[in-house]
Amino acid sequence: MPLSNPELWAAALAVVLPPVIAVVNQPRWSGPVKALFMLVVAAADGLGTAYFNDSFHGRTIVSCILLAVIIIGATYHTLWRPSGIAPGIERATSTGGTPAAVPPQGA
């Protein structure tokens, strides 16, 4: 089944969203909080692309959101995190610094 125009826009936008998400993410946030924020951004991506392509109805909205979730996750884990770009952006835009280091056991 070929992808529709809104789905293609959702996928294209999702490829470049991980660095944008990294601007807001903080290194001290837990993994589930970061994942929840990514899901919110993916939902906004899917809803926005469906709306602006005049395809704001059930199947298109759901497929755009699911496609955005998959593409954001895949590009983050295969491109943005291994290259160090997304973690570097998180550290550079952190408001509270990096998480405190655990002291050694003998100290």
* Domain-wise residue ranges, the chain: 5-17+30-92
Least confident stretch, 3-7, 15-19, 53-57, 73-77: 3-7
Q: Are 41 and 19 in contact (CB under 8 A)?
A: no
Find the DSSP H helices in 2-105.
5-24, 31-52, 58-75, 85-92
User: Residue 19's pLDDT is what?
Assistant: 96
Buried b or exposed e, range 43-76, using 16+ CB within 10 angstroms: eebbbbbbeebebeeeebbebbbebbbebbbebb
pLDDT tens-place string over residues 73-99: 999 999 999 999 999 999 999 887 555
| 99/20: higher pLDDT | 20
What pLDDT is stored for residue 100 in this prediction? 46
Mean pLDDT of 47-76: 95
pTM of the model: 0.82
The fraction of the chain above a pLDDT of 90, given in percent, is: 79
79 and 23 in contact (C-beta within 8 Å)?
A: no
pLDDT of 101 strictly over 80: no
